[in-house]
A and B are shown apart, each in its own frame.
Chain A
Amino acid sequence: MRFVVRRLSMFLFTLWAAMTLNFFIPRFMPGNPLQALEARTRAKLSPAALESILSSFGYKPNAGLVPQYFTYLKDMVTGQWGQSIGLSLGQPVRDIVFQSLPWTLGLIGLTTVIAFLLGNVAGIVAGWRRGGTLDSWLPSTLVVTANLPYYWIGMLLILVFATTLNWLPADFNYDPSILPGFSPGFIGSVAQHAVLPAFTLLITSIGGWILTMRNNMITTVAEDYVRMARAKGLSDRKIMFNYAARNAMLPNISGFAMSLGFVLSGSVLVEYVFNYPGLGYQLLNAVDNNDYPLMQVLFMLYTVSVLVALLAADFFMAWLDPRAREKG
């Protein structure tokens, strides 16, 4: 129970810190939201309308900083996210977010999970068999592939598969001429458009998983309890999974949650390259157009998802590793 309380409080504290950061950055950086807004809307709206839009995300320059801050916190938490002042002027931020969220979750989320699972299994096997030909060049190759600029890889894939061979589409999440729905045509189109971006992410992220799991396995296999399992006469496969992998996996789980943060934030560029209308794509548009309400909400969402993933990983770890429960 103490464990749970500590984790939850850490979660809340970090969330608060992130939101506070989110609040202060626009205010302490050069540039005035009101001016930017005026420039953006080219005086199509009256100053009063502008001010009401701004105040909906907590920017009341005439009110004190402290009340602004608390209104902001309240609004964020209760889902009053205001309206966009960027490309889609006036559209509720909430709508924009909920439209883009599933695409990002689907593409990025699914790809990360697949990369994690595939990578870990490959890593387990690679770490278990040492000394083979695979082992001599695999780590170096993976070290290189895991650190390639994935936006460049994305563009290369576009070059080969879309521009040259014309097998797969290079843009968007589905063919705009098809009506969204559960029709096979639509689903097929979605799948088709997801292949290149997903593949880009998969290639670049799987290397890291294989490598860390392999290294963990190597360290674990040298442990006494693995030798003990051999002494007891257990089958190789049982030792590999129940004794070695089970322990080697532990550091990877919290690593997975951490990486979720990196992947989510990194996928911004993949969405940019492929014009895939997920959260990352929206973030870039928001930044380009000084769309403060949207920017703040998106940043908060990114933080929340990473924190939730970390929390889940912590609880999962505690379930898997009895020693973690006591550490609290």
Chain B
Amino acid sequence: MKFASLVKNRKALIGLILFGITVLVALFPGLFASSQPNVIGTYAPKLGFSTAHLLGTTSYGQDIYTQLVFGARQVLVIALAAGAFATVLSVLIGITAAYMGGLVDEFLSLITNVVLILPTFPLMIILARYAGTSNWVMIIVLVATGWSYGANQMRAQALSLRNRDFLEAARVRGERRAYIILFEMMPTMTSLIVANFLGSALYSVLAASGLQFIGLGNTSQDSWGTMLYWANSAEALQSGVAMWIIAPGLAIAVLSAAFALMNYAFDEIGNPALRPVRRKDLRKARKAAAQSALDEEKGAADVYADAA
């Protein structure tokens, strides 16, 4: 049901398509480009566009297009993994806080708010610097700094649901707490959970690329963020290899846009008031009203004509 409404929404459809393309490229890079993106000196450096090099080559003689294609996988894996874990964590903490109430709630909320307030990027920089450059570290850092926002949202919605009648009915039936949480509460919250996941994935894409850009990621691995890092170190803008900067940045932008559009679509699904009032529907309605007014006048005129 939700998937159907997602597809009908134009924004979501665009986002879904973009996302789908990225997934394809990440899963089967070999289909889109030949291998060996990273070996220095494979080609002549700083070449412009050509059929052999769709996006030119870097200052180190690597094919930009190939790097782009092979870099997709790392970005996607980090985004989806970090997004998923962060969502799981926010759901757990948010719902538990809301359902347990009392001291547990106060304690969990306090922790959530403290983590929420801490300046994330500086924290991430410091953590990444100390903890090393593996992908798992990146994911852990992203999850640790990104779960709190979602936790508050989950808690708020769970709180509003907690006193609803269908939950009361479940309690009276004698269902166990875990059952109520898993099978009664959570299904009602699916849109929020999915929207949360998309939001976390979005955040992870941007944050991970940002960290990689300043060199805190694994600089020997293929990724769009690391491409930007190397490009920046080699002063790509000034040395005429602008595409080295433009291409990976654009790829990041496209993937972020995909997540953002799908996320926004889920917001709209949840809150119909936000849906666009389409111009053509209004015009059709006005035409219909004008037509019926005309018909009435015509009908009245006919009556007079008959009477005359």
Contacts and interface: CB of A to CB of B under 8 A. Distances in A.
Whether the complex brings A and B within 8 Å at their CB atoms is answered: yes
A152 B228 contact: yes
Main secondary structure on chain B at its contact with chain A?
helix
Contacts, number: 142
B86 to A, nearest CB: 16
A57 B11 CA distance: 52
A264 interface: yes
Interface residues of A, number: 56
Contact of B122 (A144, A158, A283): A283
A17 B117 CA distance: 11
Given A25-B126, A144-B257, A149-B256, A159 B273 contact: no
A274 interface: no
B119 A29 contact: no
Nearest to A287: B129
A89 interface: no
Interface in A147-186: 147-149, 151-152, 155-156, 158-159, 163
Given A140-B261, A144-B261, A265 B119 contact: yes
Main secondary structure on chain A at its contact with chain B?
helix
B131 interface: yes
Contact residues on B (Cβ < 8 Å of other chain), bracket: 35 or more
A213 interface: no
Given A131-B282, A152-B253, A302 B119 contact: yes
Interface in A131-147: 131-133, 135-136, 139-140, 143-144, 146-147
A152 B126 CA distance: 22
Given A25-B127, A149-B210, A143 B261 contact: yes
A156 B249 contact: yes
The 6 tightest CB contacts between A and B, nearest first, are A152-B249, A29-B130, A265-B121, A131-B277, A302-B119, A265-B119
Interface of A: 10, 13-14, 17-18, 21, 25-26, 29-31, 130-133, 135-136, 139-140, 143-144, 146-149, 151-152, 155-156, 158-159, 163, 215, 218-219, 222, 258, 261-262, 264-266, 268-269, 272, 283-284, 287, 295, 298-299, 302-303, 306-307, 310
Given A222-B273, A265-B120, 7 more contacts: A131-B278, A143-B261, A147-B202, A219-B271, A265-B119, A265-B122, A284-B214
